[in-house]
Amino acid sequence: MSKDLAVIIIHGIGSQEPEFANSMIAELQGRLADADVDPNRVAWQPIHWADILFGRQEKYLKEANENNDLDFFSLRRFTITALSDAVAYQKVGDNAKAPYHRIHARIREKMGELYSQQLGGAACPLVVMAHSLGGHIISSYIWDMQQHGAAGLSEFEQFKTHAGFITFGCNIPLFTFAYDKNDIFPIKFPGELLSDSTRAKSKWLNYYDKDDVLAYPLKPINDAYSKVVDNDIAINSGGIFVNWNPMSHNAYWTDNSLTKPVTKYLASLLN
């Protein structure tokens, strides 16, 4: 069956498993079906990159604890596997072994699989869903491509049919303070090859929980972001045990306050 829409889902900080997106995809598929929209019209592609860093992080933590008997081990594991992801994701020259380039190579690989295997080489509108640090990562990947080109990639793989950007638990603002406010620019969005009707429905929607200290509105970054981001939307993610505290950062995936409006948006692109 041909696909009318493609959705990639990229995770953020932490020791994520390869199946990280399964529950979200199942939730969105079920909601689309309930809305009388065939979920099989959508090609889903998770992008898992945590394994690129996790082995080294765990090895260090194990050896450090064996030799030093560290306190607060669980909290240290969170710090190592979460916050060090953001520290490690830096552009270090052209060293292909650097996490920045390895993660970008993974994105390129998965976009290629999506285009060739699921879409059969036929471009369609693309929605990007990005959690936490994943928003910064995919934004940096698209930015590099838009600035420097991408030889050998299809127009789809170059995000020229990018029709929707859904960030949740996003911390892009934290990576902007090293630059002058007037030197910060978002990616070009929406994609230049969309039809007029799809372009009119294209949106960048940024969801954040007010209790999530790792999630922030994007429009206040500067005027450039304010123009390209359609809405910063405050939600309350997670159940009664986490929706009032920073643990809400990992509670977005199947929360109704996110999946309901996302389903509505995906359906609008399919109608």
Q: What is the mean pLDDT of residues 107-130?
A: 98
Domains of the chain, CATH where assigned: 5-48+95-270 (3.40.50.1820)
Whether 240 has a pLDDT exceeding 60, the answer reads: no
The H or E element that residue 44 is part of is strand 42-47
Residue range 86-109: mean pLDDT, rounded: 86
Burial of 216 (0-12, 13-18, 19+ CB in 10 A): middle
> How far apart (Å, rounded) are the C-alpha atoms in residues 100 and 90?
6
Q: Does the predicted model carry a pTM greater than 0.85?
A: yes
Between these two residues, 79 and 167, which has the higher pLDDT value? 167
Q: List, in sequence order, the alpha helices (H) in the chain.
A: 22-34, 51-68, 73-78, 84-88, 99-113, 133-148, 196-201, 223-228, 256-270
Poorest-pLDDT segment among 74-88, 100-114, 150-164: 74-88
